[in-house]
Structure 1
């Protein structure tokens, strides 16, 4: 990919995937607008602040906009994530978020690439491992346990969020797991945003002793095939440092970064 290609892909990402609002809305989730941004309430473990851009808001006006989000979520007693992208403006937005009490978590790289080359590869897994699509609550609970074990923090509420999302729009998400005998060793899901040429990949967590065996790569290929079957032409992933090299070898290129800034009442 050339630099121009990356710029073009980022423009498509901004136009089609931001402000990243859940559609259809899961039960119990609400969206409110405030100037150029949107508040998503009641989503999984914490709310979310999202936008396509801040429409030139800066300085004191930006501080007031940030303060209003803090006030809303403080009153709700609900943590909130402000998803900051590396190309967001103004340049001092991270400092202003920090001054308002938002704390940055680990940065990830937004990678984008065409579906077809990834979908053309067979999802090859080690002997004794199988891939399976899941929708039932027991499987979703196992995914939450897997994620909790991998990331070292309680992610049990993930099962509730996935269950509500599947119930609201079963055609908008597919959850896939990798199993060795009766043990779930990896899991990820693919979303099909409305009015978009993109499919987006999420999850992709693998138990440490099962890594470097091609399972994550197989999960990506399997989900890419699902995206291709639905006519999607591009894949997008918020990639960790561990998954980015694998995705790069599959043809996905970095277009920006994303950092969760979290305010906890």
Structure 2
């Protein structure tokens, strides 16, 4: 999935040496094969490319990527590490997804721009950041069968949100951006939001579900049947 990612609206991908880079709607190095290469030279080539563009780029480093000291090379080149997360996967045919929303909570899929605004509001409050960019990013994809956006409501108020990406022709779907607003945490809303997306992926014919999980989410996901495969850290280079 990393070395041959599925097509995605708004981005293009190209190999540069042993590095696969993504440009367009976002800028990412999601895969590299640098074992045996001149690592510093390859990294500097990417630094020069993205600084010429004048944009920030994230290099996603997985625990099994080689060489094993790639993180040190990235730091030396000016990349800064974000929080390390747990890359987890679940076999949907073996998972436990019987978690219903708690009393008073309703989970709905985003179908129109009004619901998309609710999604951006809940995500922004959950992660304490401006999510207005989501309005532009997802407005054109509301009819896209590879995307599902879900919002949890408490008496009509959006209190949690999460995204499900379902690339065509693949066995793996991915969970992204699941979060609950302060004041509604600890009630099982996050679990129910994961379960709702898992059922959607299973119904669409996907076998596996992946997620980059924070440490706080890991035990919840483990109870649902997810296992950790490796750790993943985003290394960001400022423009």
**TM-score (normalised: structure 2):** 0.91
Q: Distance in 2 between matches of 1:155 and 1:20?
A: 29
Give secondary structure in 1 for the equivalent of 2:130. Answer: coil
Higher helix proportion (structure 1 or 2):
1
Greater strand content:
2
User: Deviations 1:22-46 (Å, cap 9, x if unpaired)?
Assistant: 52x313x222221232221122xx4
- Report SS of the residue matched to 1:185: strand
The match for 2:60 is: 83
Indicate yes or no: 2:135 matched with 1:163: no
Indicate how the Cα distance of structure 1 residues 49 and 89 shifts in structure 2: closer, same or farther if over 3 A, else same.
Answer: same
Query: Normalization by structure 1: what TM-score?
Result: 0.83
User: Is residue 2:14 matched to residue 1:32?
Assistant: yes
1:140 lines up with 2:116 in the alignment: yes
Greater displacement, 81-90 / 191-200: 191-200
Report the 3-state secondary structure (helix = DSSP H, G, I; strand = E; otherwise coil) of the residue aligned with 2:167: coil
Cα distance change, pair 55–235 in 1 and its aligned pair in 2 (3 A): same
**Aligned pairs (5 A) from 1:47-126:** 47-51=27-31, 53-58=32-37, 61-118=38-95, 120-121=97-98, 123-126=99-102
- Provide the alpha-carbon RMSD of the alignment: 2.0
Listed one character per residue, the Cα deviations across residues 152-205 of structure 1 (whole Å, up to 9, x for unaligned) are 3333323322334x26x7111111110112311001111112332222111111
Which ranges of structure 1 fall in alignment gaps of 5 or more residues? 1-16
Of residues 169-178 and 77-86 in structure 1, the stretch that sits farther from structure 2 once superposed is 169-178
Q: Distance in 2 between matches of 1:65 and 1:96?
A: 10
Whole-Å Cα distance in 1 between the matches of residues 52 and 196 of structure 2? 43
With over 3 angstroms needed to count, the CA separation of the structure-2 counterparts of 1:100 and 1:55, relative to structure 1, is closer
- What is the CA distance between 1:119 and its match in structure 2? 5.9
